[in-house]
Structure 1
């Protein structure tokens, strides 16, 4: 079955947009934010490991294994955990928008670590991101808690998410992405384990946790990767930017979360800045930055 590439990217964006919604559902059922993150890493990591085993993908060794383990702590333990904490503190829509600060962090990291000279586009995007965060902070909204904790966890999520680009730029050309994630996610789960308090879970909570791992992590990546192989990165970035729109729409429908007009303008600035930076990436780097 030949599925159109734009449809595959759209499916990935919708599945990623469900991440905060499903996480909020699980938390409402009594599962702690960090336990949600832990189960996401455990269950999705198992799927990636199975995928790597079936395809006989080469796993990282030596120094590459060490770097992948460090990435597992930062890109899985901290990223997965901070995102769910942002959902708990501020709501699913706010967490999804703040995640889109990642491209601005990529530009700053490229400037600071890779000595990539920023151009006017990067400078404008970083300024737009900062202005957007300021407007979101001032605007708030109904059912959206724009607190220091919500902004802090959301920005930490955006920063650690940006590390996927740098890590992917170095390793996704050498190893299959699912082989790297088969290592990084279990390491990330171990990093979260000491901070998790386990709770009794209802069938509904388990359904949300499984859906996060299967749909919003494993299948979303597969759909995006398949679509990106047949679609220019620029078009893929534009379609994928529907993710926070999906998250905000569902949060309004299911949880009565509504950003104020001022906060919506700020969200538009953040997403617009992310788009202006994302369309400059090569397909390989784009894939690296989109594995949520």
Structure 2
């Protein structure tokens, strides 16, 4: 596939991913009224894994596993580590703003890719990071409180865990023998085993199998936990590591806009300024002319 077509496909995938994951913050907020966070996380990924393997069968793709050690490392960091750390942060702190701390991932990715993959950011990319960082702070508004030091540290660790998985996946894709759907399904299977163990070990309230909870679980199984993670690894495969990381910042700002439209949570002046800064950084990153 030509480089321009590959990048265009990745950007289309990013648009779909942004809409799916942004709306899912609203769905998860509603679902946690009916069950504990670990039970919901385990169930959504159990069903999400089944969806991915079913999709592989429909596409008549080989079910052969990718190299197991890298797949296990990605599963533990992307599926289990990221999800468990963010859910723990949500339990002890303010839901929306604490969850958004996970989107410090792009900043971790830039540093990790520089050292692990030798992808040194250009001056323009440093400029975009410098513009996006205060934008994210404005959206988070830490001066209003983030649920305490423990919750903040857990959410930041979740972002770091996700960033590690991005670098590990990029390194595995560099071998040229793994497809995004194949890797997504197998890493999710391995990571889900860890989430199921956590759900069994950590006491939580019984699940209320209300129709709203079943609908939220079905949505998560098919889209956010299944297809969206396959789209994410497709993006990681097609785009430079730091670009893939930075473009994920579209999710929290779209989430703020959807919360405004659906829940009536109108962004204040600081959030509006933050959205503008992040949007400008993303436009500069993806639309500016490229050399070479």
**What's the CA shift for 1:94?**
5.8
> Which residue number in structure 2 is paired with residue 112 of structure 1?
115
> Which residue number in structure 2 is paired with residue 57 of structure 1?
62
Matches within 5 A, 1:1-292: 9-29=14-34, 31-54=35-58, 55-57=60-62, 59-60=64-65, 64-87=67-90, 89-92=93-96, 95=99, 97-135=100-138, 136-140=140-144, 147-172=148-173, 173-196=176-199, 197=203, 199-201=206-208, 202-220=210-228, 242-253=250-261, 255=263, 257-266=265-274, 268-269=276-277, 272-273=280-281
> Which residue number in structure 2 is paired with residue 285 of structure 1?
none
| Cα contact 1:102–1:159 (8 A) shared by 2 | yes
The change in CA–CA distance for 1:278 and 1:165 in structure 2 (over 3 A counts) is farther
| Cα contact 1:77–1:188 (8 A) shared by 2 | yes
Structure 2 distance, partners of 1:98, 1:118, is 23
| Cα contact 2:24–2:220 (8 A) shared by 1 | yes
Structure 2 distance, partners of 1:130, 1:245, is 13
TM-score, length of structure 2 as denominator length: 0.72
Structure 1 distance, partners of 2:195, 2:184, is 16
| Cα contact 1:15–1:216 (8 A) shared by 2 | yes
| Cα contact 2:105–2:160 (8 A) shared by 1 | yes
**What's the CA shift for 1:238?**
10
For these two proteins, the number of residue pairs brought into alignment is 271
> Which residue number in structure 1 is paired with residue 5 of structure 2?
none
Structure 1 distance, partners of 2:252, 2:166, is 19
List gaps (5 residues or longer) in structure 1.
283-292
List gaps (5 residues or longer) in structure 2.
1-7
| Cα contact 2:106–2:245 (8 A) shared by 1 | no
**What's the CA shift for 1:87?**
5.0
**What's the CA shift for 1:151?**
3.5
| Cα contact 1:92–1:251 (8 A) shared by 2 | no
The change in CA–CA distance for 1:12 and 1:118 in structure 2 (over 3 A counts) is closer
Structure 2 distance, partners of 1:160, 1:82, is 9
TM-score, length of structure 1 as denominator length: 0.72
**What's the CA shift for 1:256?**
5.3
